[in-house]
Amino acid sequence: MGEIRNVQIDIIEDAVKSLFLKANTSIGQDIYNALFDGLNKTEESPNGRDVLGQLLKNHDIAREEGVPICQDTGMAVVFLDIGQDVHITGGYIEEAVNRGVAAAYEEGYFRKSVVTDPLFDRRNTGDNTPAVIHTRIVPGRLLHIIVTPKGFGSENMSALKMLTPASGVEGVEEFVADTVIAAGPNPCPPTIVGVGIGGTMEKAAILAKRATLRPVNESHPESRYAELERRILERINRSGIGPAGLGGRITSLAVHIEYAPAHIAGTAVVVNLCCHACRHAQVTL
């Protein structure tokens, strides 16, 4: 067993704040490059090219001027991988995360888009908290934080299906492609398609969300899954939906699959759509 390492709560709060400030204002180089290649190599449609050109210009403005890429600065999703030898001191970690979120959304002039109650009094909480926090205890003495502000144009187009084992690979392929194609222009294509397969229904959902975080130029390390990702991507891009849904070759930039062992009686599949403004940032403390 390693020695216990103390981590001051303020450090976590500050890290969450600076990660959200960064994620909301500067897109990952992987996505920027994919849009750039789309414009210069792949996209044939004039409308599609016009859209990609606007998106690249938009990313440049956001980065240079430190303003949000998109007005929907999302719900704050935070993944915490906490080493089991870490001892957090000075307060409660979830409160620190929420303080970091509130500070970033205030300082960054980000839109506050969270309401207190989903049904009865949809009152804005005023500071974009609470964050959605996914915590894992992992080996070691480090603390890894990933933040992803999640816009709802794309989140709303996500879907879950409990497939039977008999539906097989083809069943998954069809469900994922159909979900993206049915979403049409709504999730702000070109999208990044996160797919979680296996586990229980909530396990698949979290896998799908994590899958959206993978760099778009990286395919699954296992060749069978990498091949499936490629096939689904091709099928989606044959739809012709294109950038912003105006018609074109590039409807999605990538399909990312994460899987987990499954029950003998079922195959949970979740499709979590992320728009071209698929924002995330991370740090290891």
Partner 1 sequence: MEAIPLITPLDTDTVRRLRAGDRVTMSGVVYTARDAAHKRMIEAVEAGRPLPFPLEGQVIYYVGPAPAPPGWAVGPAGPTTSGRMDPYTPKLLELGLKGMIGKGTRSGKVIGAMERYEAVYFGAVGGAAALIAKSVIKTELVAYEDLGPEAIYRFTVSKLPLTVLIDSLGNNLYAQGPKVYRR
Q: Is residue 130 helix, strand or coil?
A: coil
Identified binder of partner 1 from the candidate list 29, 40, 54, 164, rule CB under 8 A: 54
- Residue 211 contacts partner 1 per CB under 8 A: no
Our finding on whether 35 is near ligand SF4 (CB under 6 A) is no
Q: Choose the binding region for partner 1 from 74-82, 84-92, 209-217, 246-254 (rule: CB under 8 A).
A: 246-254
Residue with Cβ nearer partner 1 (35 or 213): 35
How far apart are CB 112 and partner 1 at their closest, in Å?
Answer: 8
By the rule CB under 6 A, 62 interacts with ligand SF4: no
- Please pick, from the candidates 91, 130, 140, 153, the single residue that binds ligand SF4 as defined by CB under 6 A: 153
**Rounded Cα gap, residues 116 and 147, in angstroms:** 21
**What's CA 192's distance to the chain center, in Å?**
8
Our CB check for partner 1 shows the closer of 143 and 281 to be 281
Q: Which residue has the tokens 């204002």?
A: 25
Calculate ∠ Cα 201-279-141, nearest 5°: 70
Sheet with 267-274, edge to edge strand ranges:
159-163, 267-274, 191-197, 252-259
Q: State whether residue 48 is helix, strand or coil.
A: helix
Identity of the residue numbered 61 = I
Is position 193 an interface residue for ligand SF4 (rule: CB under 6 A)? no
Residue 266, CB-side half-sphere exposure with 13 Å CA sphere? 10
One-letter amino acid identity for 26? S
- Tell me if 57 contacts partner 1 by CB under 8 A: yes
Q: Using CB under 8 A as the criterion, which residues of the chain lie in contact with partner 1 when the complex forms? A: 44-48, 50-51, 54-55, 57-58, 61-62, 65-73, 109-113, 124, 151, 153, 156, 184-186, 188, 238-242, 244-249, 275-277
Q: Using CB under 6 A as the criterion, which residues of the chain lie in contact with ligand SF4 when the complex forms? A: 70, 72, 151, 153-154, 187-188, 275, 277
